[in-house]
Amino acid sequence: MMNDKNSDAIWHGTTILAVRKGNKLVMLSDGQVSMGQTIMKGNARKVRRIAGGDILAGFAGATADAFTLFERLEAKLERHPGQLQRAAVELAKDWRTEKYLQKLEALLIVADKESTLVITGAGDVLEPEHNVVAVGSGGNYALAAARGLYEYEEDSEVIGRKAMQIAADICVYTNAHFTLESLEL
């Protein structure tokens, strides 16, 4: 992660959560866009489908940077169809080594029917140990809530919505206007 004050605010201004359980994967985001202590927008879409709808992608960080990374990831997926992990590793390599991309400030969660990955600008492609992963300012709250609910709730969407509501109740940079995308597994 970057160490300057401006980067820290960008990295932590949202909440993205992915939950994989049973025959369904859900990815949710809050809708709040903040600049410092000001809420600029409350209904942003930070989760979307890419690669013809087969992959869910969410971002925390600078919007324009994330869209640039999504475009790059889609180009990698065109070169390596159906190989999300390979495309993610190729993107992470470029992100770490290309001067232009090194300045981009975002974290990505991407998922298909087989895997869920976190891609960082440090060159990391991380596959979570558990079937739940979250990033952003409310990420740890959503992650803890979802992991706590996971054993007791069968529906990944219910887990995701409850966990995101808990994050929204705690984190001032997370609101309760959720965007949800899902994939049947």
pLDDT (tens digit per residue) in 136-157: 999 999 999 999 999 999 999 9
Whether the per-residue pLDDT at 132 is higher than 60: the answer is yes
Encode pLDDT of 48-68 as tens digits. Answer: 999 999 999 999 988 888 889
Q: Is 75 annotated as a binding residue?
A: no
Residue 95 forms part of a structural domain? yes
Residue 183 forms part of a structural domain? no
Q: Is 68 annotated as a binding residue?
A: no
pLDDT band for 9, please (50, 70, 90 cuts). Answer: very low
Greater confidence (113 vs 99) lies with 113
Mean of per-residue pLDDT scores for the chain: 91
SS3 for the chain, per residue? CCCCHHHHHHHCCCEEEEEEECCEEEEEECCCEEECCEEEECCCCCEEEEHHHCEEEEEEECHHHHHHHHHHHHHHHHHCCCCHHHHHHHHHHHHHHCHHHHCCCEEEEEECCCCEEEECCCCCEECCCCCEEEEECCHHHHHHHHHHHHCCCCCHHHHHHHHHHHHHHHCCCCCCCCEEEEEEC
Residue 89 forms part of a structural domain? yes
Residue 184 forms part of a structural domain? no
Residue 80 forms part of a structural domain? yes
List the single range of 19-23, 73-77, 99-103 with lowest mean pLDDT.
99-103
Which of the residues are catalytic?
14
Residue 82 sits in a domain whose CATH number is 3.60.20.10
Query: Whole-model pTM above 0.85?
Result: yes
Q: How many domains does the chain have?
A: 1
Residue 51 forms part of a structural domain? yes
List the single range of 2-6, 19-23, 41-45, 98-102 with lowest mean pLDDT.
2-6
The pLDDT value recorded for residue 181 is 98
Residue 120 forms part of a structural domain? yes
Residue 154 forms part of a structural domain? yes
% of the chain surpassing 70 pLDDT: 94
Q: Range of 76's domain? A: 5-174
Chain centre to alpha carbon of residue 130: 15
Question: Who's near 25: CB < 8 A, 6+ residues apart?
Answer: 18, 19, 56, 111, 113, 116, 156, 182, 183, 185
The pLDDT value recorded for residue 121 is 84
Q: Is 88 annotated as a binding residue?
A: no
The pLDDT value recorded for residue 5 is 43
